Amino acid sequence: MPYLLSCDIHTHTMFSAHAYSTIEENVYWAAERGLQVLGSADHLSSMVTACPNDLRSYQFFINQDIWPRIWSGVLVLRGAEADIVSLDGSLFGEDTLVTLDIAGDSYSRQHSLFDLVTRNLDYLVASVHNPQIAEGATLAQTTEMYINALEHPKVFMLGHTGRSGVPFDIDEVLLAAKAKHKIIEINNHSLEHGVDTEHWAVCRKIAERCAELGVGIGVSTDAHIGMAIGKLDYARKMLDEIHFPLDLIVTRDRETLLREMAAAGVCDLRNGM
């Protein structure tokens, strides 16, 4: 079937350091491709800077309320892709204390980098980028890691689990996501090297179990340049091969996405849009 996918909620701007477009350029391409929703989710990660306890290195996230909500006809969501950094499912910056604001003034009380950076964001994608955190771990531990990450109030989607290099009990994690109205990403970038790769096989298995267990997915580009936004051909091919049910694709349209974000308790943007 032709999958109409009108939301792309895992995309990156130049802030992510190894990405190459501005937010305005990304919005341009989202509008050009006819998307209803663009989610900007830059890295909240040590990949961005060598000074993780300096809020100034992450101030890009703090002022995003100046972005128009509707920009060139596209609903723009403010997010981040937060690294899962330990087997307890904690996210980057949670244990990093920040004492100075972006102007260099002292805070009257302690804040974590995570809280300061994410408090005005709409949602988070939680991803593993460093599989060494799970070196020597049992399947039960890695499964618990992902389930704990889903407990974060702003985590809406687990990012590219099929290419993280960390095995886990797929059914347990998927059912935990389903119970919380949270979603599993089918990441187009993970599939770009073709059907004969390990990533394709793992991603396909995850997608098949989502279909069988009734778990919602988010189909995203993980675009690191504007012209890649909305180009989901590899994901479409895989979903078509397994006859994935359209009603489980949460990113198929704006109404469905916003309804599920509200049901998950992540944010409710359904009114005033």
The per-residue pLDDT for 4 is: 87
pLDDT greater than 70 at residue 17: yes
Average pLDDT over every residue of 171-175: 98
pLDDT greater than 90 at residue 32: yes
Instruction: Note if the pTM is more than 0.85.
Output: yes
The per-residue pLDDT for 273 is: 57
Per-residue model confidence as pLDDT tens digits over 95-112: 999 999 999 999 999 899
Task: Tell whether the torsion through CA atoms of 181, 153, 25 and 36 is positive or negative.
Answer: positive
Ordered domains of the chain (ranges, CATH): 7-263 (3.20.20.140)
Average pLDDT over every residue of 127-132: 96
Nearest-angstrom CA–CA distance, 249 and 256: 9
pLDDT greater than 90 at residue 266: yes
Q: How confident is the model at residue 272 (pLDDT cuts 50, 70, 90)?
A: low
Average pLDDT over every residue of 110-118: 95
